[in-house]
Structure 1
Amino acid sequence: MSTAIPVVFIHGLWLHASSWQAWADRFAARGYAPSTPGWPGEPGTVAAARRAPEAVAGLGIDDVAGHYADLIRGRPDPPVLIGHSFGGLIAQKLLGLGIGRAAVAIDPARIRGVRALPFAQLRAAFPVLGNPANRRRSVSLTAAQFRYGFGNAISRIESDELFGRWTVPSPGRPLFEAAFANLRRSSPAAVDTRNAGRGPLLFISGQEDRTVPDALTRAAYKLYGDSPAVTDLKQFPGRGHSLTIDSGWRRIADYALEWLDRQPIAAGR
């Protein structure tokens, strides 16, 4: 029987699950057992996802969280959860429910209780939030929109290459749910930040991120102040929302690995 600690990678909007493959390979080389499941209904390749935008249209945060919860509950060993953007919100939500042994939330989408709403984030989200009908639709970014929201801290050439390689249509509903999270007590973007029995949680923030500005990640981190469970924050200067897929991804992945190795979950591996 394998003793490797499982890791589940959870992507956010506009990136396909396969964008985690380099991370999965690096974690496997360090003795973990990684998997990169997509969102419910997500086609298996970038090309197929682009041909079938309706496959994920209308999905909300609870649909995605429930999908990953079902996948994880079917496993014999609880995994580490690593999520980017809305994947980071989902990772927090699951960890707060006691699903998973630890989590890394990278530039995580806004959870209920975070009140900061920087202009850069509003502009990055406008392609979706600018049209209420997008709540029921799947929406694609243009290369220029990707450059603003994801690739602002890298060259235009690299941003365009990443856009062509990884972007897919994504549901608009999660953005509406996060934007109005503080108006609903039962918001899908609510996370149990006071769970004293949860596993360790690491926040990673790119300080040049426009889609999830550093102020939002810091505000989310502070919401965990009443919990005695391990909660850490690492900020990376000069990094934007593309930090999991651009040419600097190894530094982010290696920091996450080093942090995990310092946690009790790594004992006996």
Structure 2
Amino acid sequence: MGYEPKQNPVIFIHGLWIHSTAWQPWIELFEARGYSATAPGWRGDSPTVQETREFVQAMEKLGIEELVEHYQEIIGTPEIKPIIVGHSFGGLIAQELLANGFAAAAVAIDPAGIKGVKALPLAQLRSALPVLRNPANLHRAVSLTSKEFKYAFGNTLTVEESDALHEAWTIPGPGKTIFQEASANISPHSPTTVDTQLADRGPLLLTSGTEDHVVPLEVTKEVFQMYEKGPSDTELHIFEGRGHSLTIDSGWKDVADVALTWLETKGF
């Protein structure tokens, strides 16, 4: 079955600790459905996983504001705005780009919480400990061990699948982003602030896995409730039994299909 070319391009944005090339299966699927799709990495990322692991200095002091600005620069001011699909911190960035007029629509998959969220589940704290346990990590790039990755990302997977994903896709991540997330509600100008009351923006799909440790379901539900108080088009989809690895593990296509179906219902 052939698909007509779509007007809006798609930009995939990865989250902390995962390289942008992990989006390749998504790119191929979306292109097969008629979309032009790309996955530009974060500022400071190198072209490959191995190069990024070796050249960590490029990302050591990056914060959320620099990452958002990076994607704003990539997007520019095109006549036809892109659709943003982001995972984890990429999901937070997607919401900021949508609210600031840089996107036509956004899909935020297990997105990092925005300012105003009060829930702080124990699993989320434990997942962030590799960064938060050392204040010096504020200015460092931090990697996850395979054991830390298994708890944070691969808790619903076998050890074998989790270890394979860790080896294939993990990269160091700027610790500053985690500290900014942790201090969001006590920072008057937190870069995690998103205007959830906008009427004049495109549709947003929030998703969450019920077993996610990095961004537990109750966090995403609270974000959704913040949006529900406003007039904007926001929906929530819950993936039963899925953890934070849902965009890269063996069940990734189920997640991608939900995003594609939702975009179709919104006319994209």
User: If the length of structure 1 is used for normalisation, what is the TM-score?
Assistant: 0.96
Q: CA deviation at 1:3?
A: 5.0
| 1:181 to 2:188 alignment | no
Residue matched to 1:24 = 27
Which runs of 5 or more structure 2 residues have no equivalent in the other structure? Answer: none
Q: CA deviation at 1:234?
A: 0.4
Aligned equivalent of 2:204, options 197, 201, 206: 201
Report the secondary structure of 2:228's partner residue.
coil
| 1:131 to 2:96 alignment | no
Q: CA deviation at 1:55?
A: 1.4
Residue matched to 2:265 = 262
Deviating runs (4+, > 6 A) in structure 1? none
Matches of 2:15 and 2:257, distance apart in 1:
20
User: If the length of structure 2 is used for normalisation, what is the TM-score?
Assistant: 0.97
Report the secondary structure of 1:252's partner residue.
helix
1:225-254 deviations in Å (ceiling 9; x for gaps): 222221000001110000000000000000
Q: CA deviation at 1:207?
A: 0.5
Matches of 1:73 and 1:129, distance apart in 2:
34
| 1:122 to 2:118 alignment | no
Residue type of the partner of 1:211? V
Aligned equivalent of 1:218, options 200, 215, 221: 221
Aligned equivalent of 2:65, options 62, 73, 80: 62
Residue matched to 1:244 = 247
Matches of 2:53 and 2:74, distance apart in 1:
24
Residue matched to 1:102 = 105
Q: CA deviation at 1:74?
A: 4.8
Matches of 1:250 and 1:80, distance apart in 2:
18
| 1:112 to 2:101 alignment | no
Map 1:64-79 → 2, pairs under 5 A: 64-79=67-82
Q: CA deviation at 1:260?
A: 0.3
Matches of 1:225 and 1:117, distance apart in 2:
20
| 1:162 to 2:165 alignment | yes
1:136-171 deviations in Å (ceiling 9; x for gaps): 000000000000000001111000000000000110
> In the alignment, is the contact (CA less than 8 A) between 2:77 and 2:102 conserved in 1?
no
- How many residue pairs match? The answer is 264
Q: CA deviation at 1:80?
A: 0.3
Aligned equivalent of 1:51, options 28, 51, 54: 54
Q: CA deviation at 1:77?
A: 2.1
Which runs of 5 or more structure 1 residues have no equivalent in the other structure? Answer: none
Map 1:227-242 → 2, pairs under 5 A: 227-242=230-245
Matches of 1:175 and 1:76, distance apart in 2:
34
| RMSD value, Cα | 1.0
Report the secondary structure of 2:243's partner residue.
coil
Aligned equivalent of 1:34, options 32, 37, 45: 37
Residue matched to 1:145 = 148
Report the secondary structure of 1:233's partner residue.
strand
State percent identity of aligned pairs: 51
Residue type of the partner of 1:96? A
